[in-house]
Amino acid sequence: MQTKLTLRLEKQLVDLAKEYASTQGKSVSKMVADYFMLLDSAIDTQIDELSPIAKSLKGSLGKTQIDEPDYKRHLEEKYL
């Protein structure tokens, strides 16, 4: 099922996209859909590129609230 998506872009960018789409024999909608499909493939590729150990650890922290300052503090305590 197709649905409508509205994008708000600068007129110059829209004109450029339409011109490029025309030279490629596609609509702007088709170009955007193709791009989104590439994003989906890139995500799948990134997951596939994880080592077996990394795959097994992925998501193991669950919903913990560890942020960058916590990590830096941990490193300071460990190495300084």
Residue 4 included in any domain: no
When pLDDT is cut at 50, 70 and 90, the band that residue 32 belongs to is very high
Place of tokens 């493939």: 41
Residue 64 included in any domain: yes
Please give the model's pTM, rounded to 2 decimal places: 0.49
Residue 16 is predicted with a pLDDT of 95
Q: Is the pLDDT of residue 12 over 90?
A: yes
Residue 9 included in any domain: no
Q: Is the pLDDT of residue 68 over 90?
A: no
When pLDDT is cut at 50, 70 and 90, the band that residue 17 belongs to is very high
Question: What is the domain range of residue 38?
Answer: 28-79
